[in-house]
Structure 1
Amino acid sequence: MIEQNNSFSYFHNSSIPLFILVTLLLGITACNQQNQVQENISEQPIPTQTPESDLTLNDVTLEEASEEGQMLWRVKSQRASYLQNQELIRVTKPEGELFQDGKVTYKITALQGEVYQDGNKIILIDEIEVYDIQNKVVIRGQQLEWLTEPGIIIVTNNITGSNEQIQASAQKAKVISKEKKIEFYGQVVAMVKEPVLKIQTEQLFWEIEQKKLLTNQPIKIEQLKDKNVIGSAYGDESEYDLGNKIATLKKNVQLLQTDPKVQISSDLVTWNMPQNLITSPGPITVLEQEEKVVLKANQGQGNFQNNTFNLSGNVIGVGQKNQAQLNSDRLTWYFENQTFEAQGNVFYRQVDPPFNVRGPRAVGQLENEKVTIEGGSSNVVTEIIPQ
């Protein structure tokens, strides 16, 4: 027998499986309809019914377990209304729990929602909050679809997601509980707290346990200091490691540094932010914007702590103002005084006045055509000084 109280509350402070609850609700509804035609109606209060619902209960707990008996999910609600024709239960101020291996992994709250009779889908609306207990991640939005069997939570409308390292906003977020992963879609903006970064893209995957942010969509990363941009990067694909604070960008990569003013282009670049290193294992182009010098090589690394850039493999340096050109096997560029040191098969040429020379090593400045070539078969030093 099911006991009622004056507030028409069933299963008060108790929990039962969803399919049992639905069966009981159907039974109660049928009994209520039969009792209404009887002349002698019991003085005991009957369950609340509205034109929209077949039965309304207070303080209800719905839950679902696996065939092995492990809890899958649980929803507590202040009020639950069963709609038989739609095969769902409408809940007010639901508080949900998602389980994995018998432990609560996510807690979910909202103002209202709908639990479908098969127990495989739950819809929540207004003031959504999803809390990842282990990783202390909070996701907020205005609408949620909870696919209980695969453990997937989809949140839409004014999405934010945050923990102690990152705060993100997007049009949609997809939480894949088994993979400890959150996928953000649509106008994604992620702010990383240390170092301060602003990441913009259309799709961003947050692998929480691996502490990585990944995307295969065009991305913009800005490094900020005192709210000013001091470096920015663009690419068609990216991976950012929140642990070691290294960004790896692929395809059509461009990096811009403000001090010194440098533009770097490549198809694969690693940006080590703690060490302020930018490395490319493949073809790379460096534009030194102050003096309009272009450097190209098969690979290179910029160290912006000491303001140098090392290039190797078919190095070409061109001063764009006077078209002076230097070729070598290796070259180190010093941004502070706009000088270089080149080694291996050095070849230098200039247009005005026409001149070219070869040697094993060279130092100097491309832009003002002041170059010293050292060595050679006669160990001669050639110094080129513009008129």
Structure 2
Amino acid sequence: MRKVIFLLSGCLLLSSCGGDVPQQREATTTKKQSPLILQNIVLTDTDRQGKNQLWEIKAKRAEYSRDRSSAVIRDVQAVFFQNGRKVMTVKAPRGEVRTVAREIFLFNGVNALLTENATTLKASSIQWSPEKDFLECTGPVELDQPKQKIHAKGKRLEGKLSANIFSLLGDVEATSTSEGIKVNAPRLVWNLTRNLIDGDQGVVARSEAKQILVTAPLATWDLGKQQVTARAENGTPVVAEQKLQDGWMQANQMNWNFSQQVFEGEGNLQARFGKPPQHFTASQATYNLATSQVQARGARYWREGETLSVSSLNMSTDLRNNRIKTSGGVTSRFVPNR
């Protein structure tokens, strides 16, 4: 059910406003209505069953089309609802309401606040189709979550307001201002409810302060745990580099925990650290950046330029002091120089 609330005035644009209309023109006017202009109005609408409210729109001016199927609105303040629940408030200079199709378009710079986690949204334009549960924004598009201190930007956004899951597309970058972490990908999917950001199609995560760079086909950024989990795909591994300690790791999966300053890698793991390089292969390993220690399982260790390597089920290595401790199935292998 639609409602139009007139706050000040409305005027039907005929040959004149307020004047008598000749009787011979009444039939023509009925068949082909003139545009309707309303000032300072509130528009509300519900779903086709008349149960759930879809939106409440305040506009300083609305001009309806001749068939009343749409209205161009100006100086817009709107509230969007999904399944009867308030999900977004929006401001825009201009827009269009398509009453029959039940769609809203907002243009010329849109500022919005998503109810979930008080996330702000900025975009050039927004299209919202509540019956399809679909939101699309064109860019540049920016998302900000002050609580987590996360800022994300891209060229386009699409998603579902009911689920609070949004895909940012086109040269996407997400930044943690508190941790100094940046994640880049062609696409990032932000689940506002679960505080997860998923990237695919080639993801790069970096810390310029700690000179860390991680590249992977797939990655998930857990904002609550302050951790990026990177994963291999189709034979392309995860690679991590740390220039401060000449560190390099490669594995099928890798967890980078920012707050604990720890890397955890597993599956076909290879690594080297320092100069001259100390090499590892392992099924699983944990590298602590703060202490420069490596804990590994199913590991093999050797130093570049030396002929002795050590293998064991469990291995603890102090990279700063070039010390290793081994236990379980320890074997040494001597490879003569050639």
TM-score (norm 1): 0.65
Deviation at 1:368, TM superposition (A): 5.8
Q: Quick one: structure 1 residues 150 and 320, their matched pair in 2 at CA, closer, same or farther if it must change by over 3 Å?
A: farther
Secondary structure of the residue aligned to 2:71 is strand
Alignment-derived partner of residue 97 in structure 1: none
Secondary structure of the residue aligned to 1:274 is coil
Where structure 2 has 5 or more consecutive residues not aligned to the other structure, the ranges are: 15-28, 48-52, 81-85, 301-309, 322-338
Instruction: Give the length in aligned residue pairs.
Output: 280
Deviation at 1:191, TM superposition (A): 1.4
Mapped contact 2:186–2:200 kept (Cα < 8 A) = no
Counterparts of 1:273 and 1:293, CA distance in 2: 26
1:124 equivalent to 2:37? Answer: yes
Deviations 1:221-265 (A, max 9, x none): 11234xxx6222111111242212122111211112345442211
TM-score (norm 2): 0.73
Alignment-derived partner of residue 91 in structure 2: 169
Alignment-derived partner of residue 152 in structure 2: 233
Mapped contact 1:266–1:284 kept (Cα < 8 A) = yes
Kindly, what percent of the aligned residue pairs are identical?
A: 16
Structure exhibiting the larger radius of gyration computed from Cα positions? 1
Counterparts of 2:222 and 2:170, CA distance in 1: 22
1:200 equivalent to 2:122? Answer: yes
Mapped contact 1:232–1:257 kept (Cα < 8 A) = yes
Deviation at 1:306, TM superposition (A): 3.0
Secondary structure of the residue aligned to 1:337 is coil
Counterparts of 2:290 and 2:162, CA distance in 1: 41
Alignment-derived partner of residue 135 in structure 2: 213
1:176-195 pair list within 5 angstroms: 176-195=98-117
1:219-298 pair list within 5 angstroms: 219-225=141-147, 230-288=149-207, 291-298=210-217
Secondary structure of the residue aligned to 1:291 is coil
1:386 equivalent to 2:284? Answer: no
1:1-387 pair list within 5 angstroms: 104-107=1-4, 109=6, 111-116=9-14, 117=29, 119-134=32-47, 135=53, 137-149=55-67, 151-156=69-74, 158-163=75-80, 164-225=86-147, 230-288=149-207, 291-313=210-232, 314-366=237-289, 369-376=292-299, 379-380=311-312, 381=315, 383-387=317-321
Q: Quick one: structure 1 residues 214 and 150, their matched pair in 2 at CA, closer, same or farther if it must change by over 3 Å?
A: same
Q: Which has the higher contact order (CA 8 A, sep 6+)?
A: 2
1:285 alignment partner AA? V
2:225 alignment partner AA? N
Counterparts of 1:382 and 1:351, CA distance in 2: 16
Deviation at 1:174, TM superposition (A): 0.6
Counterparts of 1:211 and 1:293, CA distance in 2: 39
Q: Quick one: structure 1 residues 136 and 333, their matched pair in 2 at CA, closer, same or farther if it must change by over 3 Å?
A: closer
Deviations 1:312-349 (A, max 9, x none): 11111111323311111211222231112211222222
Deviations 1:173-214 (A, max 9, x none): 111112211000011111122321211011111222344421
Secondary structure of the residue aligned to 1:321 is helix
Counterparts of 2:249 and 2:238, CA distance in 1: 8
Secondary structure of the residue aligned to 1:149 is coil
Secondary structure of the residue aligned to 1:179 is coil
Deviation at 1:290, TM superposition (A): 5.5
RMSD: 2.6
Where structure 1 has 5 or more consecutive residues not aligned to the other structure, the ranges are: 1-103
Deviations 1:17-42 (A, max 9, x none): xxxxxxxxxxxxxxxxxxxxxxxxxx
Deviation at 1:375, TM superposition (A): 2.1
